[in-house]
Amino acid sequence: MTRDDTIQKEPTETLDTSGMLCPLPVYKAGLALKGLEQGDVLRLVCTDPGSLADIPAFARQGGHVLLEVDDQGSTQTFLIEKGPGS
């Protein structure tokens, strides 16, 4: 799933949380995004199927933009653009 109205952006940083279960992928993503500038993109790799619900909710609640979700079954990849004031 990709937002149609966004220009494809290259990730500024990649965070691999493979093998971690909730809440660690969300927590680690939050820490990584704090170190980025507004408009930067985090590529987040997860293996916890719960991330398919957790990460979109985290992005929405944090004011970030979820640019892409790629569910490969055993691995989920998210592109998250850091929002303003977060």
CA–CA separation, 47 and 50 (whole Å): 9
Count CB-CB contacts under 10 A for residue 86. Answer: 14
Domain made up of 13-81: CATH architecture: 2-Layer Sandwich (3.30)
Mean pLDDT to the nearest integer, 63-85: 96
Whether the model clears a pTM of 0.95, i.e. scores above it, the answer is no
Would you list the domain boundaries of the chain?
13-81
* Upper half-sphere CA count for residue 52 (Cβ side, 13 Å): 10
- For 36-58, write each residue's pLDDT tens digit: 999 999 999 999 999 999 999 99
User: What share of the chain has pLDDT > 70, as a percent?
Assistant: 88
Which position among 22, 36, 65, 69 bears the catalytic label? 22
Mean pLDDT to the nearest integer, 27-32: 98
Per the annotation, the verdict on 22 as an active-site residue is: yes
